[in-house]
Amino acid sequence: MRIPFLLKVALCLCVLSVLVGGVFLFRYETTAGQAGNTPQRWPANIGIAPAPNGYTLLLFAHPHCPCTRASLEELNRLLAKSPGNVMTHVLFLQPEGTTEDWMKTDLRQKASAIPGVIVHDDAGGRMAREFGADTSGYVVLYDSRGQLLFKGGITSARGHAGDNIGESAIVLLLSGKIPQRNQTPVFGCSIETTAASMAGIVP
């Protein structure tokens, strides 16, 4: 039985569209977000002080960013492996003009359920700007002297949980060891762009 020419064309176009879509999806998932200038020393007078003993970890997130779910899963795994010497804060950006109800998402609940995590609202993204967090899921780690030890992401791609270099590096640092890398790419949505669009604000 011979396949009609038009059906062959349609099948070829269908296969081609699937391949093209797969390529674009792969590029989207593996394209890192931007990172700003993270201070080498803990900024003064920002409302949160570094832990006097041990380490301080900050994770910056947008409450509606789907990519951040994997970052929170990795944070939970990371802290479960740590010796308990780290104070952890998750800061959810609250764009100007949004309400308290808008901030109440399942991501925020997920962060609050992680043992030892302190959740904050980052009004207007002030803290994110202080630490150069341009992408949701950005993590920084400081020691008790306020010295930067790590910056970057703790997932290997957008929305993908699993073993990755960032998580391994932080676990080593919390154990007093020196990792091969103390900076990794961060995979997530742009905090500023996502904040404006999801809050219904025109940038």
Residue 86: its pLDDT value, please?
97
Residue 73 lies in a domain: yes
Residue 110 lies in a domain: yes
The CB density around residue 45, as the number of other CB atoms within 10 Å, is 5
- Orientation of helix 165-174 relative to helix 68-81, angle to 10°: 30
Residue 21 lies in a domain: no
Residues 6+ apart with CB under 8 A from 159: 29, 66, 67, 69, 70, 187
Residue 194: its pLDDT value, please?
46
165, 78 contact by CB (below 8 A)? no
The CB density around residue 54, as the number of other CB atoms within 10 Å, is 16
Residue 159: its pLDDT value, please?
62
State how many domains the chain has.
1
89, 50 contact by CB (below 8 A)? no
Is the pTM value of this prediction over 0.85?
Answer: no
List the structure tokens of 57.
């970890």
Residue 27: its pLDDT value, please?
39
Mean pLDDT per segment of 10 residues, for the chain of length 203 residues?
A: 52 43 36 73 92 95 93 96 94 90 94 96 94 96 97 82 91 95 92 53 35
Report the largest interatomic distance among the alpha carbons of the chain, rounded to a whole angstrom.
78
Residue 20 lies in a domain: no
Residue 18 lies in a domain: no
Residue 34 lies in a domain: no
Residue 35: its pLDDT value, please?
63
Structural domain including 73 reads 55-198
Residue 138 lies in a domain: yes
Residue 85 lies in a domain: yes
We report the CATH number of the domain holding residue 91 as: 3.40.30.10
